[in-house]
A = this chain, B = another copy of it.
Amino acid sequence: MTLPDSSRGEYRRARREGRPASGLLLRNVRPLGGSAVDVLVRDGRIAALGAGLPATGPLRVEDGAGALLLPGLVEGHTHLDKTTWGSPWYVNDVGPALADRIDNERAWRARTGHDAGAHARALALAFLRNGVTRIRSHVDIDTDAGLRHLEGLLAVREELAGRVDIQLVAFPQSGLLVRPGTAELLDTALAAGADVLGGLDPSAIDRDPVRSLDTLFGLADRHGKPVDIHLHEPGELGAFTLELILDRVQALGMQGRAVVSHAFCLGAVDERRLHGLLGRLAGLDVALLTTAPPSRPVPALRACRQAGVTLFGGNDGIRDTWTPYGEPDMLARAMLIGLRNDLRRDEEILWAFDCVSAAAARACGFADYGLEPGARADLVLVDASCVAEAVARRAPRRLVIAGGNVVARDGRDAPA
């Protein structure tokens, strides 16, 4: 990799003009396992990458010691507001049905006064220590809690801006039509700053997919916001609902601004049906989010790539009333995606890494992403020889830089 002329020019100009070359010079790192380079960071962005960049002026210099350099990792789907992170162990005694889990959570929150903002903040900072600098989080909106969780999360989003870039999805966890008043709350949530409109099982939960989706897409269209719809519905039911979703993406011209999360149905329909649906998803640039759960059918990563469908990764809930599992580590999630899709060759494991980095940034619309000049300087140094090793070993994060600032070292917050 060589220093691009434009960056080099700007860098020289700053020196010529006697401006302090303030910023950070990261020496001797291997971008995605390539040859060793230095990375020059200025004003929170990557200014240049190249061998032997000069350290001039009051630059802070960090020795990368040949570590693997990754871009800041991306969490494509979590529920920061639900986590018990930072609390004592939550003893799970919940029934097995989706409705059991939804009802239990709502009751638990009412009973315990769970402070969504405080837990979300703790979890987001734990993500950051593991090199995650962009997070899409769904936030429950329901007629019991109103906008309380969103308000907590909006404050966290603002506090952590510049370190972790948080997108908030207004999510009707208890259903949209089945709980009257929810659509109005979602409307308010979008006006109040939610970035994306969420949805949930228009057939299985809302029991009226057409009216549910028309309501949802109507809101999204009015606010000019993208959608991200949880679709747990199995087999042909899910495939049917998916078609209804795609019809509306097409009708409203929302190409590139719609995500279907989970889409378990795509792991259960037959080959021919799958290819038809993947073809339509690719044509409409609708992305799929997977957590790669080992116990459910999932959209196959190989088939999605072949069809040109963006599949990206997320943890879903982390240690909440739904699940005791999970950790704020996107390399661990990439490992699970690799295991679920039986990716063993190094070159295949790169696909799993793509799910928690570039593909996730693209699908969620996180701007200025990557390891190129001009991108936000979100840089992660990892003790591993290559990306495949980093994923398979969930290799320790040696250094995390967010927006050009060193924020964590060896899993601990770095002093400002």
Tell me, rounded to whole Å, the shortest Cβ–Cβ distance linking A415 to chain B.
25
Q: Could you say which residues of chain B place their CB within 8 Å of the CB of A346?
A: 91-93, 324
How far does the alpha carbon of A388 sit from the alpha carbon of B325 in the complex, in Å? 10
Interface size on A, as a range, is 35 or more
Q: Does A180 contact B (CB under 8 A)?
A: no
Q: Does A338 contact B (CB under 8 A)?
A: yes
- SS of A interface (majority): loop
Chain B residue nearest to A338 in the complex (CB): B325
Given known contacts A324-B388, A392-B319, A94 and B295 CB-to-CB distance under 8 angstroms: no
Tell me, rounded to whole Å, the shortest Cβ–Cβ distance linking A272 to chain B.
21
How far does the alpha carbon of A294 sit from the alpha carbon of B333 in the complex, in Å? 13
Q: Does A345 contact B (CB under 8 A)?
A: yes
Q: Does A385 contact B (CB under 8 A)?
A: yes
Write the A337-361 contact mask toward B (1 if CB under 8 angstroms, else 0): 0111110111101000000000000
Q: Does A113 contact B (CB under 8 A)?
A: no
Whether B294 lies near A340 (C-beta < 8 A) is yes
Given known contacts A319-B392, A385-B88, A385-B89, A339 and B295 CB-to-CB distance under 8 angstroms: yes
Chain B residue nearest to A296 in the complex (CB): B342
Cβ < 8 Å to B, chain A residues 321-338:
322-325, 327, 335-336, 338
Whether A92 lies near B344 (C-beta < 8 A) is yes
Given known contacts A88-B385, A388-B324, A392-B324, A94 and B340 CB-to-CB distance under 8 angstroms: no
Q: Does A386 contact B (CB under 8 A)?
A: yes
Whether A342 lies near B92 (C-beta < 8 A) is no
Neighbour of A325 across the interface among B93, B294, B345, B392, CB < 8 A: B392
Q: Does A384 contact B (CB under 8 A)?
A: yes
Q: Does A293 contact B (CB under 8 A)?
A: yes
Whether B349 lies near A324 (C-beta < 8 A) is yes
Q: Does A115 contact B (CB under 8 A)?
A: no
By CB atoms of chain B within 10 A, which of A92, A323, A335, A347 has the most?
A: A92
Given known contacts A294-B340, A295-B339, A325-B335, A92 and B384 CB-to-CB distance under 8 angstroms: no
Q: Does A389 contact B (CB under 8 A)?
A: yes
How far does the alpha carbon of A237 sit from the alpha carbon of B388 in the complex, in Å? 34
How far does the alpha carbon of A392 sit from the alpha carbon of B349 in the complex, in Å? 24
Whether B344 lies near A324 (C-beta < 8 A) is yes
Q: Does A401 contact B (CB under 8 A)?
A: no
How far does the alpha carbon of A349 sit from the alpha carbon of B319 in the complex, in Å? 14
Tell me, rounded to whole Å, the shortest Cβ–Cβ distance linking A264 to chain B.
13
Q: Does A289 contact B (CB under 8 A)?
A: no
Q: Could you say which residues of chain B place their CB within 8 Å of the CB of A339?
A: 293-295, 325, 336
3 A-B pairs with the lowest CB-CB distances in the bound complex, closest first: A294-B294, A295-B342, A324-B392
Q: List 29 A-B contacts (CB under 8 A).
A: A88-B385, A89-B384, A89-B386, A89-B388, A91-B386, A92-B344, A92-B345, A92-B346, A93-B345, A93-B346, A93-B347, A94-B344, A94-B345, A293-B339, A293-B342, A294-B294, A294-B336, A294-B339, A295-B340, A295-B342, A322-B344, A323-B344, A324-B344, A324-B349, A324-B388, A325-B339, A325-B392, A327-B393, A336-B339
Besides A89-B386, A324-B389, A325-B338, 13 more A-B contacts (Cβ < 8 Å) are: A89-B384, A89-B385, A91-B386, A91-B388, A92-B346, A93-B345, A93-B347, A292-B294, A293-B342, A294-B294, A295-B340, A295-B341, A319-B392
